[in-house]
Amino acid sequence: MTTRLSRLGTLLVGGALLGACAQLIGLSDYDEQGAAGESGEGSGAKGGSAGKGGSAGKGGMGGTGGTGMGGTGARGGDAGSSSGRGGAAGRGGAGAQGGDSGQGGVGDTGGEPPVIVPVAGAGGEDTANYDCVSTTTITKVVLLPRDVDDAIYPANNTLAVVTPQIGDFADDELWIDFYKSAKYDGDATGTFDLGAFPNNNYATCARCVWLGMDLGEVSAPQAYFYVKSGTMTIDADSLQMDGFPNLTLDKVTLIESSIDVEDTHVSKPVKDPRCLYLEHAEIVMPPPPSSWKCEPTYYGTGDGCDCGCGAADPDCNGDKHGGACDPNACGEEGSCATSVYCDGIDPEDNSKCDATPDWICSPLYYGDPDEICDCACGIVDIDCASSEPAVCVSCADAASCDPEGDCATLDPADNSKCILP
């Protein structure tokens, strides 16, 4: 069963990137059959009331009448009691139009999310062809780290913050979601037209590109923008369903839209819509190598330099020293570090541990980003310009050989050693 998720939840903050959560709501299988749709006359009647819990109801037969459209099928019922969750609705087939009369098709049975094709407002003003009243060009897309324990963002959702700021000060977040089932081919690779069915509406998309404006501290976007046109090219090696997409977006226009996140999931441009334009973006999150022992989604996802995981983390930016390690990214499951302070990490190769290191101070002090020359630590710190005591900045680590931490006992010829009385 494919599910549309809800991001109406708690804000995720990814370090300095300040990523905010988004939104989506799920569909489920029914345990009872929904009531059939009533016959339509003229323009076609709406579907009948939904049944509780159980399999989705079939759509009613559309009525015959004039040049009107046949009736739509019934929607599936609301969620059932504690014994069963509500399922996805079936849909009625489109009635014939024109001629002497048209007859609505028989609705499909439930079990999958509804496929809702139209974008125009039912019985009201057609908003499908509204022109953009203004267009803002997106100049930067920054991927956000994923919280692997957060069900709001499963692996098939990718998120990023865009520049420039569209609304007020809160983040504007771009969402790229993939869905796979009998009706959705979100695992497919190749080039896809985002402005064509099924990707041109949130209710039907297998590859969904949309944006929430001004998310704030909880997921309450002030406006939605859904893709109007553009292409997505997914590399043959992409693993987008597992959280490791490799794709490009080209000439993408997003149009300000209303999205029924609570029920039908239909997206529809608003009147006098604003638009956003993205010329090109590369969305690449590489999968970890087989030697990676930590949580897969910690690898190269912008969540800090993870150490002791058996392979170098791309988040370390090529720096293999212990000082590159994020103190909050050591000691997690799979890491050989013995504490969150990266104890045990090999100071000269932060992908592994050294049981008997020559460096006796914290691995975080060896080649640290602040380039502080730490002394009395067993080997000369690469942050030190020489091995002379005069260049030392600190001897204060608890494991150093200098008892007072003031560098008073250093060997004049080797600042990594001490001469004790």
* Residue type present at position 191: T
Handedness of CA 402, 406, 408, 412 (dihedral sign): positive
Find tokens 């080997």 and name the residue: 379
Q: Where in the chain are the domains?
A: 15-23+132-284, 28-112
Bridge partners (DSSP) listed for residue 213 = 223
What's the chain's length in residues? 421
User: CA torsion 401→403→408→414, rounded to 10°?
Assistant: 0
- Count CB neighbours of 81 within 10 A: 9
| Whole-number pLDDT of residue 86 | 34
Q: DSSP label at 66?
A: T
Predicted TM-score of the model (pTM): 0.57
What is the β-pairing status of strands 274-284 and 134-137? parallel
Q: Can the peptide bond before residue 273 be classed as cis, meaning omega within 30 degrees of 0?
A: no
| Whole-number pLDDT of residue 287 | 87
Mean pLDDT by 10 residues, the chain (421 residues): 37 27 28 35 36 37 37 36 34 38 38 33 49 94 68 66 86 91 93 96 95 73 93 95 91 95 92 95 89 88 89 93 88 88 92 87 91 95 95 94 93 94 80
Phi, psi for residue 390 in degrees, rounded to 5: -65, -25
CA-based nearest residue to 73, from 101, 106, 41? 106
Spatial distance between the Cα atoms of 113 and 56, rounded to a whole number of angstroms? 10
Under a CB-based contact definition with an 8 Å cutoff, are residues 59 and 91 in contact? yes
Spatial distance between the Cα atoms of 36 and 77, rounded to a whole number of angstroms? 11
Under a CB-based contact definition with an 8 Å cutoff, are residues 33 and 47 in contact? no
| Whole-number pLDDT of residue 57 | 36
Spatial distance between the Cα atoms of 148 and 100, rounded to a whole number of angstroms? 58
Alpha helix segments (H runs only) across 263-387: none
- Count CB neighbours of 176 within 10 A: 21
| Whole-number pLDDT of residue 48 | 37
Phi, psi for residue 297 in degrees, rounded to 5: -80, 5
Q: DSSP label at 128?
A: T
Spatial distance between the Cα atoms of 90 and 112, rounded to a whole number of angstroms? 8
